[in-house]
Amino acid sequence: MKLVSFNVNGIRAILQKDFIRDFNNLDADIFFIGESKFSEDIHLDFPFAPENYFTYWTVSKLKKGYSGVTVFSKKEPLSIHYGLKDEKYDEEGRIITLEFDNFYFVGAYVPNAGDGLKRLDFRMQYEDDLLDYLKELDSKKPLIYTGDLNVAHKEIDLKNPETNRHNPGFTDEERNKFSRLLANGFKDTFRELYPEEVKYSWWSYRMNARAKDVGWRIDYFIVSDRLMEKVKDAKIHNDIYGSDHCPVELDIDL
């Protein structure tokens, strides 16, 4: 089974580029889109409807052109849930969970701590709520958690760790929450398979960062510990453009 996660930084914008070609070439069984920025009435159709996929999506109810996540799945799930427990954070359109026979798929666009870390407290509460939610799911069946998680966990995960300390995505608080997540029964698939590999999934639009490969690895596939033995590969497709992120992939025997 192939799963792909891609923060597209605006679905309408990326549809004007090579996204449909890349989507077809990747041919994922489940394809998750983060930061769709789709702000039309939620009852209208999503602007991309690939054949042979079930489509599930949610938008920000607070601000137009903000956040939003979508999942395309070749197999119809048993159930779909939006937000965390009691739909928390769905007002910002951040999380979708699909339940299948033998696993849960959770796709998220994690809140950024913001300029001046003005949303760091909000982010910390999200991480606490997220862990509770994932542990509850994991007690029922194993799970796969993916998306733009907005944190570079280790120094190897960004080009310039020294100059980015205490910046959003590389604060001690965010990194410690990620460490806590892994300590509670989950694995970072790419780092488990490639402990020393330097590869990034996001680059600033400033200073020609992508051409210079001055990036961050902030897009992940996290799995329950007991699924790690089923993981065949974890990839970062940094040759695919169209967004300030690139797609990440998980190949797993499910």
Residue tagged active-site, from 22, 90, 148, 157: 148
Confidence bin at 235 (pLDDT 50/70/90)? very high
* Contacts (Cβ under 8 Å, ≥6 apart) of 223: 142, 143, 144, 145, 186, 187, 189, 231, 250, 252
* Alpha carbons within 13 A on the beta-carbon side of 224: 19
Q: What is the mean pLDDT of the chain?
A: 96
Confidence bin at 65 (pLDDT 50/70/90)? confident
Give the pTM.
0.96
| Tens-place pLDDT, residues 154-195 | 999 999 999 999 999 999 999 999 999 999 999 999 999 999
Residue 62 burial class via C-beta count within 10 angstroms: exposed 0-12, middle 13-18, buried 19 and up: exposed
Residue tagged active-site, from 53, 89, 104, 109: 109
| Tens-place pLDDT, residues 74-120 | 999 999 999 999 999 999 999 999 999 999 999 999 999 999 999 99
Query: Could you tell me which residues are beta bridge partners of residue 106?
Result: 97, 145
Phi-psi region for residue 27, left (φ > 0), alpha (ψ -120 to 50) or beta? left
- Mean pLDDT along residues 123-146: 98
Judged against a pLDDT cut of 90, whether residue 44 lies above it is answered with no
Rg (CA), the chain: 17
- Mean pLDDT along residues 214-239: 98
Confidence bin at 143 (pLDDT 50/70/90)? very high
Give yes or no: 132 in active site.
no
Give yes or no: 109 in active site.
yes
Q: What is the pLDDT of residue 148?
A: 98
